[in-house]
Chains A and B, each alone.
Chain A
Amino acid sequence: MRLSGRDVRCARGGREIFSGVDFEASSGEALAVTGPNGSGKTSLLRLIAGQLTIASGSIGLEGGESELTLPEQAHYLGHRDALKSALSVMENLSFWRDFLGGEAFDARTSLAAVGLDHAAHLPAAYLSAGQRRRLSIARLLVVRRPVWLLDEPTNALDTAGQSMFAALMGDHLSRGGLIVAATHASLGIAARELRIGGGS
C-alpha cells in the first residue's frame, strides 16, 4: 500500500497555504509533517482526509481496498476530539466503533490498551485533557484502518502516555499500516520528515 501526493497545492478562502508539496509513504512507514505554525500541516492532513478540496495536484492511495475511497480507509485524529460530554467513555467509544464500521474490536480491550478501562462508566465530561486524548486514541484501535492521519497526536499526553502511543504506532506500522502525523515534538518512532512552509 502506498500513499502519495504529487505537486499538492492548498488554498483556503482564496489564500494559498502551500504549493508544490510532494510526499510518499508506503506500508509500515511513518511520515512526520513538520513546519512552523500556520504553514499548513493541519490543512495537508485535512486534504488527505478529504475534508478540504485540493486546489491542484493529486493525492492517492494505491493498493488499498479498491471499493473504498482514501478517507474511508483512514482514521483522523484532529485537534477536536469528537467526544460527547453527555455520554460515558464506553458509550463514546462504542458509538464510533459502530458508526465507523469495518473490522471492529472489543471496546473494553481498546480502552485497556490506552489505560482508560477504569473510567469506562464515567461521563466524558469528567475526563482531563490527556484522558480525552487517550480516549480519541482508543478510537484508532477499536476499528482497524490502514491509514492514520494524526494531528499533534501527543498533545496533552504525559510521558507514559507518549511512550504508550509510540508503542501503539509501532504495532500499527508492523501490521502494514501507514501514518502521517503533523507534529512539533518527536513521535518516538522512526519517521521520515516532510517539511512544509517557512523555507528551510
Chain B
Amino acid sequence: MRALAALIRRDIKIALRVGGGALIGVLFFLTVVVLMPFAVGPDLALLTRLGPAILWIGALLASLLTLDRLFMADHEDGSLDLIVMGRTPLELACAAKALAHWLAAGLPLIIATPVLGLLLNLDATSTSAVALTLLAGTPALTFTGMIGAALAVTLHRGGLLLAVLVLPLSIPVLIFGVAASQAAISGPLSFGTPFSILCALSLVSFVIGPFAAAASLRHGLD
C-alpha cells in the first residue's frame, strides 16, 4: 500500500509541476468548448441541445491528449524498468498510475464543466447531469486508454497510434455518457438506465485495464 501511495503521490506531483501536463488537458477542453458557440452560431436552443455532446467530445479528446505520457515518460528515463522489477504487482502499479493520471488530468475536466456549461447555455440541472456522467465515465476513458498507452510505450511519438487504438474502446463510453446526459435534460428515457451502463463500463475497465496494460508492458519491454 505504501508503494502504491508513493507512486500516486509522485505522479500527481509531477503532473502538477511545470511541464507536467495536467493543465494541458483542461486548456484543450476549454479551447474546444469555447470555440464551439462561435462555430455553431448564436442559436441558444441548438447550443443547449448539442451542449452535452460537445462537453463529452471535448473531455474525451482532452483525456486522449495526455494519455500517451502515462508510461512513456517512465519508459524514457528508466523508471518503468524498476517498476516492472519491483515487489509491487505490476497490475496494481498500473492501476495506481491510471488513478493518479485521472486525479491529475481527469478531475480538473469535471471541475471545469460547470463553467463551460454556461457557454453552452446549459442550466444548472443539465450541467450537473453532464458533470455527473463525466465523473462516472472519464475513469473508463483513462483505464481503457491505459491499455493503448502500454502498447505504444516503446514507440516514440506513439500518440497518434494511441488515439487510433483507444478510440474504438471509448465509443461505448461516449454513447452512454451523452445518452445519460440527454436523458436527464430532455428525456424520454430515464437517466438511470444509460447511467448504470456507463458505471458498468467504468467498473469493467477497472478490472480489464490494469491486467491488459501490465501484460503488454511485460511483453513490450525489450
Q: Which residues of A contact B (CB under 8 A)?
A: 12-13, 46, 49-52, 68, 71-72, 74, 76, 78-84, 86-87, 91, 94-96, 98-102
Are A78 and B14 CB-contacts (below 8 A) given A86-B19, A99-B6, A101-B87?
no
Q: Which of chain A's residues have a CB closer than 8 A to the CB of B221? A: 51-52
> A172 CA to B18 CA in the complex, in Å?
38
Q: Output the least CB separation between A42 and chain B (Å).
A: 11
Do residues A82 and B10 form an inter-chain contact, with CB atoms below 8 A? Answer: no
Chain B 69-82 interface mask (CB, 8 Å, partner A; 1/0): 00000001111011
Q: Which of chain A's residues have a CB closer than 8 A to the CB of B7? A: 95, 99
Given A51-B81, A68-B87, A95-B7, 13 new contacts (CB under 8 A) = A46-B81, A51-B84, A72-B86, A72-B87, A80-B77, A83-B77, A86-B14, A86-B18, A91-B13, A95-B9, A98-B3, A99-B82, A100-B82
Q: Which of chain A's residues have a CB closer than 8 A to the CB of B82? A: 76, 82, 96, 99-100
Q: Output the least CB separation between A17 and chain B (Å).
A: 12
- Residue from B10, B19, B76, B86 having most chain A Cβ neighbours under 10 A: B10
Q: Which of chain A's residues have a CB closer than 8 A to the CB of B13? A: 86-87, 91
Q: Which of chain B's residues have a CB closer than 8 A to the CB of A101? A: 2-3, 86-88
Do residues B14 and A100 form an inter-chain contact, with CB atoms below 8 A? Answer: no
Do residues A84 and B10 form an inter-chain contact, with CB atoms below 8 A? Answer: yes
Other-chain residue from A46, A78, A80, A100 in contact with B86 (beta carbon distance below 8 A): A100
Q: Output the least CB separation between A74 and chain B (Å).
A: 7
Chain A residue at minimum C-beta to C-beta distance from B13:
A87
In terms of DSSP, what is the predominant structure of the interface of chain B?
helix
Other-chain residue from B2, B14, B87 in contact with A84 (beta carbon distance below 8 A): B14
Q: Which of chain A's residues have a CB closer than 8 A to the CB of B9? A: 95
Are A74 and B10 CB-contacts (below 8 A) given A51-B221, A86-B17?
no
In terms of DSSP, what is the predominant structure of the interface of chain A?
loop
Q: Which of chain B's residues have a CB closer than 8 A to the CB of A96? A: 82
Q: Output the least CB separation between A185 and chain B (Å).
A: 21
Q: Output the least CB separation between A52 and chain B (Å).
A: 6
Q: Which residues of B contact A (CB under 8 A)?
A: 2-3, 5-7, 9-10, 13-14, 17-20, 76-79, 81-88, 221-222
Do residues A74 and B14 form an inter-chain contact, with CB atoms below 8 A? Answer: no
Q: Which of chain A's residues have a CB closer than 8 A to the CB of B76? A: 80
Do residues B81 and A82 form an inter-chain contact, with CB atoms below 8 A? Answer: yes
> A74 CA to B84 CA in the complex, in Å?
12
Do residues A78 and B81 form an inter-chain contact, with CB atoms below 8 A? Answer: yes
> A13 CA to B222 CA in the complex, in Å?
9
Are A78 and B10 CB-contacts (below 8 A) given A12-B222, A72-B85, A99-B3?
no
- Residue from A13, A84, A99 having most chain B Cβ neighbours under 10 A: A99
Q: Which of chain A's residues have a CB closer than 8 A to the CB of B2? A: 98, 101
Do residues A76 and B85 form an inter-chain contact, with CB atoms below 8 A? Answer: yes
Q: Write 23 A-B pairs (CB below 8 A) sorted by A numbering.
A: A46-B81, A49-B81, A49-B85, A51-B84, A74-B85, A78-B81, A80-B77, A81-B78, A82-B77, A86-B13, A86-B14, A87-B13, A87-B14, A87-B17, A91-B10, A95-B7, A95-B10, A98-B2, A99-B83, A100-B3, A100-B82, A101-B3, A101-B88
> A49 CA to B81 CA in the complex, in Å?
9
Are A82 and B79 CB-contacts (below 8 A) given A72-B86, A95-B10, A102-B87?
yes
Do residues A84 and B79 form an inter-chain contact, with CB atoms below 8 A? Answer: yes
Other-chain residue from B3, B18, B78 in contact with A79 (beta carbon distance below 8 A): B78
